[in-house]
A and B are shown apart, each in its own frame.
Chain A
């Protein structure tokens, strides 16, 4: 069965601090996809990144970086030099390639960046 765990319910940081959001997943499938979405106060779900299970390279996009480690079934997300606009709920999600192709979400982490 698929499961995504985001143990951090809420995090508060002061602007310009770095922050890491944790994500641990469970799946029996050998091929799967991992995602991060951002949900700002306006409510929409904004795609941030998609990762294939066979590509463990870490990725950096501006102030955002992702650390994918299959050995620990983790896909953590780091924001460097946080800004107030980063305040949002962040969701980690999993989709299995060989099973149903729906998307399983974690419970989300609410990040508040204090100016």
Chain B
């Protein structure tokens, strides 16, 4: 298995631009999570899906953030318009309902820089 695949690995964009981060979970995993990591706030959950349905989006900072999971093999996290304070590493993770042997598998992350 190729693991959780995120793209792009790095993204530099100007303030006000739209940014789309992509994630392909592990095949067979039915839960998908988006996390954001910053020095100030550590690892925080933004949103997660079970069986492609958003379950909890209370961690999404504001309306500028949106996430979709149109099918079991793809999810996007969009920021529109982006702001410098959105600069962070964004991780996608997937798991099976019983967490499996290895629990949650994380992608390599997308390092976003908004200038």
Residues of A within 8 A of B (CB): 33, 35, 37, 43-45, 47, 50, 91, 95, 100-105, 107-108
Contacts and interface: CB of A to CB of B under 8 A. Distances in A.
B104 interface: yes
Interface of B: 31, 33, 42-43, 45, 48, 50, 55-56, 89, 91, 93, 95, 97, 99, 101-106, 108-109, 111
Contact of B91 (A45, A95, A104): A45
Contacts of A37: 106
Contacts of B89: 43
Nearest to A108: B42
8 contacts: A47-B105, A50-B99, A95-B99, A100-B55, A101-B31, A101-B97, A101-B99, A102-B48
Contact of A103 (B45, B102, B109, B111): B45
Given A102-B48, A104-B45, 17 more contacts: A33-B99, A37-B106, A43-B89, A43-B108, A43-B111, A44-B108, A47-B102, A47-B104, A50-B101, A91-B43, A100-B56, A101-B50, A102-B33, A102-B56, A103-B33, A103-B45, A108-B42
